[in-house]
Amino acid sequence: MKGKRIAAGLLAVLLIGMSVPMRAASALSEEEVKAPAAVLMEAQTGKVLYEKNPHEKRACASITKVMTLLLVMEALDAGKIALTDTVTASAHAASMGGSDIWLKEGEAMSVDDMLKATVVASANDAAVALAEYVAGSEEEFLRQMNEKAQALGMADTTFKNCNGLDEEGHLTSAYDVAVMSRELMKHKKIFDYTKIWIDYVRDGQTQLVNTNKLIKSYQGITGLKTGTTGQAGSCISATAERDGVQLIAVVLGAANTKDRFSTASTLLDYGFANWSVATPQVPPEALAPIPVLNGMSEQVETTVTADGVMLIPKGKDAEIQYQISVGENLTAPVEEGQVLGKITCILDGEVLKEYNILAKTSIPEITFSSVFQLLFRQLVSM
């Protein structure tokens, strides 16, 4: 009877707990964020928890290398290149100024060592060498960088080089930096590099020390990239994880490295103090069999795959509402995996997540032939 009531109605609703405001317990003041532009984003959900001039177009210095590294990691994952491949520095790569590892034209290093130099020491020459190896030239790699930015919806961004040296028109925004940082974080191998404090290349002859000092001082820090130039000021995209919450704190244009790191720490502290993640639940009612009209079976078993997480104010797990909706008059044939309804997770009227109720098996339509075959099998088995 319970299943029939679900099928007969347009909507069945299960509410657990009471609604609460979807906001953090406290807000950051302008004085605490010592930079002209900043964004705090939760990486798994993409939810922005704090923003200050998020779409203001600014130079970002070596934060540019987040996109460079993203394309390199994609090439690795696709099998186009390997960590053991040898990269030979061109005259162009060796000519880079600013932060570098003093590559000489013709000098060869593995992709692995070039990645270390790019991530840990923010080496401009190593970044260009990797770009040329992946795409054949920095120009082609640059085209791919801008193409990827467009695909990610980075409307504020135009790349003019792959390492972040000051160049007219080379601009992005705090929001766009968070977006590309989030995408890079999907490639877990990158953390093998971003969490390095000290390492070596050239058989131990060249020491690399991480430009991200939070690696030594901030609990849960995982990366990601720093940058400093005259036009950009002091910048950072800082990533950290605690208790399943993955945060990205972007700071652009800070006056100095002290303000850069303190502001990133403040943003991360704010996120961890006020937010948590919850795993979606599957209410038992969602797994109730659903009646099927004109089917070889009178009902179909259901299944639900609830993955991912939901970002909520701390301590509000039990106050999430689960709304179950199932369409009426389900008629055969029903295919295995067919969407029969959905579960919507709600907090204070805001939809946190939706996931589908699926048919666990197929239910064929009743036909004269199918009924005859069923009767024949029953007779034979007697």
If asked whether residues 259 and 291 sit together in one domain, one would say: no
How does pLDDT run along the chain (382 residues), one tens digit per residue? Answer: 333 333 333 333 333 332 232 344 457 887 889 999 999 999 999 999 999 999 999 999 999 999 999 999 999 999 999 999 999 999 999 999 889 999 999 999 999 999 999 999 999 999 999 999 999 999 999 999 999 999 999 999 999 999 999 999 999 999 999 999 999 999 999 999 999 999 999 999 999 999 999 999 999 999 999 999 999 999 999 999 999 999 999 999 999 999 999 999 999 999 999 999 999 999 999 999 999 999 889 999 999 988 899 999 999 999 999 999 998 889 999 999 999 999 999 999 999 999 999 999 999 998 756 555 655 566 666 6
If asked whether residues 307 and 241 sit together in one domain, one would say: no
If asked whether residues 123 and 140 sit together in one domain, one would say: yes
If asked whether residues 93 and 233 sit together in one domain, one would say: yes
The predicted structure's pLDDT at residue 200: 97
Number of structural domains (the chain) is 2
Residue 82 included in any domain: yes
CATH of the domain at 372: 2.60.410.10
CA–CA distance, 276 with 274 (Å, rounded to integer) = 7
Nearest alpha carbon to residue 240 among 186, 196, 187, 185: 185
CA–CA distance, 65 with 62 (Å, rounded to integer) = 5
CA–CA distance, 130 with 62 (Å, rounded to integer) = 15
- Global pTM reads 0.87
Nearest alpha carbon to residue 357 among 2, 11, 8, 19: 11
Contact 184, 64 (CB under 8 A): no
The predicted structure's pLDDT at residue 140: 98
The predicted structure's pLDDT at residue 94: 97
The last residue of a domain, from among 274, 292, 308: 274
53: how many CB neighbours lie within 10 A of its CB? Answer: 18
* Element spanning 183, H or E: helix 174-185
If asked whether residues 96 and 236 sit together in one domain, one would say: yes
Residue 23 included in any domain: no
Residue 10 half-sphere exposure toward CB, CA atoms < 13 A: 0
Name residue 108's amino acid: A
If asked whether residues 184 and 96 sit together in one domain, one would say: yes
- Grouping H, G, I as helix, E, B as strand and the rest as coil, residue 43 is coil
Which tokens is 68 given?
């460079």
The last residue of a domain, from among 222, 243, 274: 274
The predicted structure's pLDDT at residue 370: 57
Residue 324 included in any domain: yes
If asked whether residues 361 and 329 sit together in one domain, one would say: yes
CATH of the domain at 218: 3.40.710.10
Name residue 249's amino acid: A
CA–CA distance, 89 with 107 (Å, rounded to integer) = 5
CA–CA distance, 38 with 23 (Å, rounded to integer) = 19
If asked whether residues 226 and 331 sit together in one domain, one would say: no
Residue 256 included in any domain: yes
If asked whether residues 262 and 315 sit together in one domain, one would say: no
If asked whether residues 206 and 252 sit together in one domain, one would say: yes
If asked whether residues 208 and 322 sit together in one domain, one would say: no
Point out the residues that are catalytic.
62, 65, 122
Range of 9's domain?
2-16+283-381
Say if strands 339-347 and 108-110 run parallel, antiparallel, or are unpaired.
unpaired
* CA 182-252-242 angle, 5° bins: 45
If asked whether residues 186 and 312 sit together in one domain, one would say: no
The last residue of a domain, from among 228, 251, 274: 274
Residue 239 half-sphere exposure toward CB, CA atoms < 13 A: 26
